[in-house]
């Protein structure tokens, strides 16, 4: 038998069995000058040695090896032999048990070709592997995949950039294949490490460096896609993997400016944009976080925070904002803020401002903490910053080696926190924002019996700063708040605490309270139209949006109107008021008239403003000249507005006449001369003639003729004094006397002879004030002891105490019921019931015998 008879048909075309010299030969070996997909010119020119014939027994070799050998052409420039590749694919599909052997043999050839620098055949082998992967989905594919991953790892280990890119491209194709069978022992640790290393490539050639980095990002994206949805695969969310993947993506995001600054020319810009590692890294990071479940988000975000810390990226904050616009906000950033509570104010401000920028992104589907927990964290940081600014250190006391805190940096941090609170609140629905408003208000320290206050000079400063910062935060949250029902927007518990702060001495706090009320009441965007106090002859130029008062608003005003009027009246009497206070008061009065007014409210507001005019005229409070002129001007501006809103001609005429008189003879009583940079005031306001004043009798007469309640209009407004006045701690002598007279009048009957009252002296007044403060302190101490008892006492003791009180209450109720239910005594006496107990016997009324005096 001849040699040709032993040789299979077509085997002479196999370069592994026959070697012939071509035109491109050197020392008897063909030189590889081409490759598939990647040009061989990109590699260094190396001599390639074809595979020799294993003896003369080629026909006895396994068929799968012969089919694999046949796909390789004699010249690598010719590429993959497609017909033979189809035969190999058909054989693999027909005999799937041979697929693992085919993979092992291809792997063996590829490793040998890489070692011999035969890169053309390497490309052909990888192409064949890709086609087999795409075509075969049998149960034996797992073993074939092991060979495939072994070959990809061999390419990634190479120092040749193009081999690394080739291996990455094959891995990405493999990652997009959905396998039919699970794998229990496959590991991707090497690929995570290698792709992360490629993301940090520092190759001298910028173009090659960009390609390597992009390949690394694509490889990481492929690893995530392959493992994230398969519970049997390695857990990609483990910290050991996330600590490599996330920093690699952030590294490429951070160096976008460098890549853009080195772009060669504008003509190549579109191509460079497609090859930008930063954009690819951003897409990959978004995909990674989008696939994260709630339990895995912590491991994905923690490396981001560590990266920003290690590279000091909080202070410029530009890159940090970009990162968190991608990953949105989550509980991890808030807890990271707590962890950095002793860091420099600039670092904490950077973290908070990143939160603020991230908050504007729609939070739908994002993973985050509960709303109140988020605001609680920010408010806690606000209080810590106040303490740092007051003490000057993070430890509360200065010592050797203590880091000195700069007050202006803490102030910057506080403003950043307040801005962030407003940003978060703006993304919340109405019902959640209402909860946040109540939550913030509950944190404001008030000098009441129910709220602890810090004592001492330092405590007063801390209380004041805390009140201001929390009210600023509340103003940020209330800005833009829209609620159709004022009962829901301003519930009783919130309104009581808010108006209590309006009685404080601090002018800045009172101004915040007025602005917060304006934000809640303004529901049609009319607020800015009353920013300037004036007496316009035609208010139609303001283009006010006026809506009819709803039934809910009417109920709200019936319940809270007198409380609002009282605080407006008392705020007008403050001698520390400045122009901003009067502008806020005017805006509040105007908005109540537009948003919440009916006929009864209009009447009460007119009475209130006339009472304010009396305050300026009588001047029992000894107000400065500016304040008195400001009150006159405030009354003129408001009555001018309300007269045009009511459209009663006689009312408008009276207001217009008084304003014109003032313009001619007393311009210092009008807002145009008072609320300017340099007010023009009068030195003597004691001789104000009646023509300069708005007369209550005249107004009640003209409005009574138009259907308004003239009897109510004739009554002067007198505010109701309540326990809230104790919060101001500035009771005037007149108020003290009036309270004393009121108590005396209540305790003494009219028919009894009046006991001469004790002579009121300075010592008497001083003793009364001191005694009231002492009683208040005793009551506060009693309440504190009760609260402490319920917090620290054993449960049995508390239960026994409550049980005793319940028994006492029940006994009192039984006595009351016995008295009220007992039948009337019988005129015929009593009868003896069973067991010898006397029982009242009730007889019908018509059988009773009444005395003669009762007969009419």
Closest CA to 91 of 110, 71, 73: 71
Buried b (16+ CB within 10 A) or exposed e, 557-580: beebbebbbbbbbbbbbbeebebe
Closest CA to 555 of 598, 523, 518, 520: 598
Question: In what helix (H) or strand (E) does residue 839 lie, and over which residues does it extend?
Answer: strand 838-840
Dihedral sign (CA 449, 454, 460, 463): negative
Do the domain assignments include residue 645?
A: yes
CA dist., res. 700 & res. 168, Å (int): 89
CA dist., res. 599 & res. 662, Å (int): 28
Range of the domain at 70: 59-182
| Final residue belonging to a domain, choices 728, 756, 777 | 728
Do the domain assignments include residue 332?
A: no
Burial of 309 (0-12, 13-18, 19+ CB in 10 A): middle
Least confident stretch, 725-739, 788-802, 835-849: 725-739
| Final residue belonging to a domain, choices 166, 182, 198 | 182
The answer to whether residue 577 scores a pLDDT higher than 70 is yes
* Structure tokens belonging to residue 394: 């993070």
- Please say whether the beta carbons of 72 and 16 come within 8 A: yes
Model pLDDT, residue 566: 92
Model pLDDT, residue 180: 61
pLDDT band for 581, please (50, 70, 90 cuts).
Answer: very high
CA dist., res. 724 & res. 604, Å (int): 22
Number of domains in the chain: 2
pTM of the model: 0.54
CA dist., res. 514 & res. 556, Å (int): 18
Greater confidence (69 vs 574) lies with 574
CA dist., res. 64 & res. 150, Å (int): 20
Give percent of the chain with pLDDT exceeding 90.
Answer: 15
Dihedral sign (CA 282, 283, 287, 288): negative
pLDDT band for 656, please (50, 70, 90 cuts).
Answer: very high
Do the domain assignments include residue 140?
A: yes
Number of helical H runs and strand E runs in the chain = 35, 4
Do the domain assignments include residue 845?
A: no
Mean pLDDT of 475-499: 85
Measured from the Cβ of residue 795, the count of other Cβ atoms closer than 10 Å reads 7
* Residues facing 839 on adjacent strands: 831
Helical segments of 502-598, H only: 507-521, 551-572, 579-595
* Interval 305-343: pLDDT, tens: 888 888 888 887 788 888 877 766 444 566 677 777 888
| Final residue belonging to a domain, choices 182, 206, 238 | 182
Burial of 520 (0-12, 13-18, 19+ CB in 10 A): buried
Residue 830 three-state SS: strand
Do the domain assignments include residue 684?
A: yes
406 phi and psi angles, rounded to 5 deg = -90, 125
Do the domain assignments include residue 709?
A: yes
Do the domain assignments include residue 804?
A: no
Mean pLDDT of 464-489: 86
Do the domain assignments include residue 649?
A: yes
Closest CA to 218 of 175, 172, 272, 164: 172
- Please say whether the beta carbons of 263 and 269 come within 8 A: yes
> How does strand 830-832 pair with strand 838-840?
antiparallel
């Amino acid at each position: 038998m001849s040699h040709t008879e032993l040789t299979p048909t077509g085997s002479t075309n196999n370069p592994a069995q026959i070697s012939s010299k071509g035109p491109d030969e050197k020392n008897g070996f063909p030189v590889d000058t081409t490759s598939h997909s990647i040009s061989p010119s990109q590699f260094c020119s190396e001599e390639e040695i074809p595979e020799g014939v294993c003896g003369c027994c080629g026909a006895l070799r396994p068929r799968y090896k012969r089919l694999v050998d046949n796909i390789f052409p004699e010249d690598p420039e010719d590429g993959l032999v497609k017909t033979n590749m189809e035969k190999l694919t058909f054989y693999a599909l027909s005999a799937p048990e041979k697929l693992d052997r085919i993979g092992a043999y291809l792997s063996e050839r590829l490793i040998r070709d890489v070692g011999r620098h035969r890169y053309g055949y390497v490309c052909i082998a990888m192409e064949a592997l890709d086609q087999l992967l795409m075509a075969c989905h049998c149960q034996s594919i797992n073993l074939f995949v092991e060979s495939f991953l072994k070959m990809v790892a061999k390419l990634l280990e190479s120092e040749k950039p193009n081999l690394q890119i080739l291996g990455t491209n094959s891995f990405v194709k493999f990652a997009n294949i959905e396998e039919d069978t699970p794998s229990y022992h496959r590991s991707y640790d090497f690929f995570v490490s290698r792709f992360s290393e490629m993301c940090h490539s520092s190759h001298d050639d910028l173009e090659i460096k960009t390609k390597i980095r992009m390949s690394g990002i694509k490889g990481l994206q492929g690893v995530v896609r392959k493992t994230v949805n398969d519970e049997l695969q390695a857990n990609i969310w483990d910290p050991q993997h996330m600590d490599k993947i996330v920093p690699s993506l952030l590294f490429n995001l951070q160096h976008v400016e460098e890549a853009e600054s080195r772009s060669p020319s504008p003509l190549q810009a579109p191509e460079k944009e497609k090859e930008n590692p930063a954009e690819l890294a951003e897409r990959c990071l978004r995909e990674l976080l989008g696939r994260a479940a709630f339990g895995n988000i912590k491991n994905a975000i923690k490396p981001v925070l560590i990266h920003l810390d290690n590279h000091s990226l909080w202070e410029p904050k530009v890159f940090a904002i970009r990162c968190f616009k991608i990953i949105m906000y989550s509980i991890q950033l808030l807890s990271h803020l707590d962890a950095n509570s002793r860091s420099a104010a600039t670092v904490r401000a950077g973290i908070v401002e990143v939160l603020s920028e991230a908050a504007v992104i729609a939070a739908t589907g994002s993973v985050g903490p509960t709303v109140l927990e988020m605001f609680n964290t920010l408010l806690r940081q606000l209080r810590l910053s106040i303490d740092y600014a007051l003490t000057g250190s993070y430890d509360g006391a200065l010592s050797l080696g203590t880091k000195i805190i700069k007050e202006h940096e803490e102030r910057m941090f506080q403003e950043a926190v307040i801005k962030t609170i407003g940003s978060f609140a703006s993304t919340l629905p109405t019902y959640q924002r209402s909860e946040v408003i109540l939550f913030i208000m509950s944190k404001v320290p008030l000098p009441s019996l129910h709220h602890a206050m810090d004592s001492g000079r330092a405590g007063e400063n801390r209380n004041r700063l805390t009140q201001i910062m929390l009210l600023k935060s509340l103003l940020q949250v209330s800005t833009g708040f829209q609620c159709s029902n004022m009962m829901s927007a301003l519930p009783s518990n919130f309104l009581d605490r808010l108006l209590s702060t309006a009685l404080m001495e601090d002018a800045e706090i009172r101004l915040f309270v007025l602005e917060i009320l304006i934000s809640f009441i303004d529901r049609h965007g009319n607020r800015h139209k009353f920013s300037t106090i004036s007496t316009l002859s035609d208010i139609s130029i303001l283009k006010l949006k006026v809506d009819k008062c709803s039934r809910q608003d009417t109920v709200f005003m019936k319940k809270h109107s007198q409380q609002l009027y009282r605080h407006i009246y008392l705020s007008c009497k403050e001698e520390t008021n400045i122009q901003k206070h009067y502008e806020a008061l005017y805006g509040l009065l105007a908005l109540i008239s537009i948003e919440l007014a009916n006929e009864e409210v209009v009447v009460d507001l007119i009475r209130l403003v006339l009472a304010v005019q009396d305050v300026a005229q009588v001047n029992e409070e000894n107000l400065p000249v500016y304040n008195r002129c400001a009150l006159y001007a405030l009354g003129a501006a408001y009555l001018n507005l309300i007269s045009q809103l009511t459209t009663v001609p006689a009312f408008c005429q009276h207001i217009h006449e008084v304003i014109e008189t003032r313009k001619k003879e007393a311009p210092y009583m009008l807002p145009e001369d008072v609320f300017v940079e340099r007010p023009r005031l009068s030195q003597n306001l004691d001789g104000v003639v009646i023509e300069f004043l708005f007369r209550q009798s005249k107004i009640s007469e003209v409005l009574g003729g138009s259907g308004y309640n003239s009897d109510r209009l004739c009554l002067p407004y007198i505010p109701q004094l309540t326990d809230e006045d104790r919060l101001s701690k500035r009771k005037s002598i007149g108020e003290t006397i009036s309270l004393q007279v009121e108590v005396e009048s209540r305790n003494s009957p009219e028919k009894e002879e009046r006991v001469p009252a004790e002579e009121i002296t300075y010592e008497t007044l001083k003793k009364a004030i001191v005694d009231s403060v002492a009683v208040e302190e005793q009551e506060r101490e009693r309440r504190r002891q009760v609260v402490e008892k319920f917090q620290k006492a054993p449960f049995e003791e508390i239960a026994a105490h409550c049980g005793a009180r319940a028994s006492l209450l029940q006994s009192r109720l039984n006595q009351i019921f016995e008295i009220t239910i007992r039948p009337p005594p019988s005129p015929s006496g009593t009868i003896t019931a069973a067991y010898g107990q006397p029982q009242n016997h009730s007889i019908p009324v018509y059988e009773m015998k009444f005395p003669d005096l009762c007969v009419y």
